[in-house]
Structure 1
Amino acid sequence: MSEDALLNWLLDSDPSLRWQVERDLVGAPPQVWQATRGQVSTEGDGARLLALQDPDGQWAGGAFFPAGFDFTEPTADEPAGQPWTATTWTLNTLREWGTDAAALGDTAERLAVNSRWEYDDLPYWGGEVDCCINAWTLANGAWLGVDVAPLAGWFAEHQLADGGWNCEWVEGSTRSSFPSTLNSLKGLLWYEELTGDDSLRAVRRTGEEYLLRRRLLHRLSTGEPVAPWVTDFGYPFRAAYSALNATDYFRRAALHDDRAPDPRLAEAVEVVRRRQRPDGSWLQEHPQRGAVWFAEDVPAGQPSRWLTLHGLRVLRWWDGAGPGQYT
């Protein structure tokens, strides 16, 4: 595809994706992309997710898992893998799609009253022990106007000696993990963007160093690739780590902090570049299994508009080209 054809293909999409293409790739005036963003809660996939909310403020009757989820055995009705229909996953999606928090009304208050974590029956907005879950709760709370400052402080208290985080810390792990660290960083950045509170920026920068020292791809001890999944791209990202997910985070963080791209990102950016097809798109390679409300992207092997948005956004930022200098 020509560049114009590629952009037109991306623009022929749901409002949740289209406004980001308008802002980050086309360079449309704010009044244009903001108008499209306003449609997320009233039409298309965003409106569909909002309509699926339970009267108590939850989705699928649970905080992280659907109500009644069988933790032992998948069934014919429940595809193997983490289900993606419960409250936290749905809030993550709506937030990342740019849904106006006002469209959720008193959701925050209803969740405070009605939603408890599956772990120890803890109250929803207080978080629990998993750093990824706490990061999503931090971002979602800041988005919906909840005072989640105590949860933000949790990340400073639970940062490991090597600079990152690991969801298995509660089981005794003292070494950080790539996915846990990236998800924690994303939550901290969302919190800072939404609240203006930069008191944990040094904590975030230390976490970024954990990944940068490893060039986002390698074990520090041996220099070997950390795992094959680093170069597998799938949308939605959800909790998964990939070079694309990580470089898009560093793009957003650098723009927020008004910093130049860190040279240690170069190898990971080239992984993203090599995955681009001759027509300019990226393929859906590794969609995660598990029950969903509806398909948010194409099946494996098909060109993905969502991955193409993220890929182009990273490359334009890195190369310093085009209008993509937006958060």
Structure 2
Amino acid sequence: MRAGWVIAAAMMLASPGTAQEWTFQQGPEPGRNAAWICDEGFCVGLSCDAGGPLGFGLSGQDDADLAARPDLDALVFVGGTALPPLAFRSIGPGTFEAKLTRDALRGIERLKAGVEMEVLYWETADDMPVRRFLSLKGSREAITAVEAACPLPDFDAQERAALTLRDPASHVLEDMRAACAALGGEVTEGARYTEAIDLDGVNPEDLVLRHGELSCSTVDDLVCGPAGCLTSVWQAEEEGGYTRVFLNAVQDVAAERPGALRLTLKGSLCGRIGAGECQQVWALQDGELAPALPQ
């Protein structure tokens, strides 16, 4: 049973028509902890499983639209200030969980200090958002308790995983096709779209994607501008997949030496807005490309 089901279980304890407040619950299984609030069958909270990190949960099992959703994007407001967007995924009919990110930590402090929270989510892309208002009474005590019981996620690993794809060339191509199709066009793939490159001096080979080589039939220069065309560089992982280490508009990219690339740039990256073309060597530093220090 996943941690999100703890929050769903709160629905059975909430009495319709009565004022609700945040509750901290341990169990029923060892290591499961949750802080939650429910109102009219809709529950939101924070929880963890045994050995797992703290995360957000949302449940609306009595809502047929929510029960059919595989995922759910939500916005939470406290005192008129929005928390970072929450990307929930289904772990059972009408029950969802979302990862706690580094950016969301300050949002948790707002939940503990606020009086009321507003939750917005969209049942379909074309509908007005559904708005739910939930009390924050008792949130400081309940959330402080679940924070003490649950470890935080490994944010560094989480952020690196968010930049890692099994097949980035296909992923970028599909995104471009979707954007172009929305403009009534079709994408043509140029010969220089993908290029294997030795970024770090070890196998497997790394990858450069020149997004500007994906041309849309109805829009010129969809990802290009005065500074150049959007270009991404991906470092190959030993276990498979690629991690993005660079994304920006450039004129071109070429291998310089293991661990470094020579970028042909224009504009602000050359020192000022409107600057002419320049070349710079960028090197891997702490998992991303950055201007190399003089050797």
| TM-score (normalised: structure 1) | 0.22
Larger Rg: 2
Higher helix content, 1 or 2: 1
* TM-score, length basis structure 2: 0.24
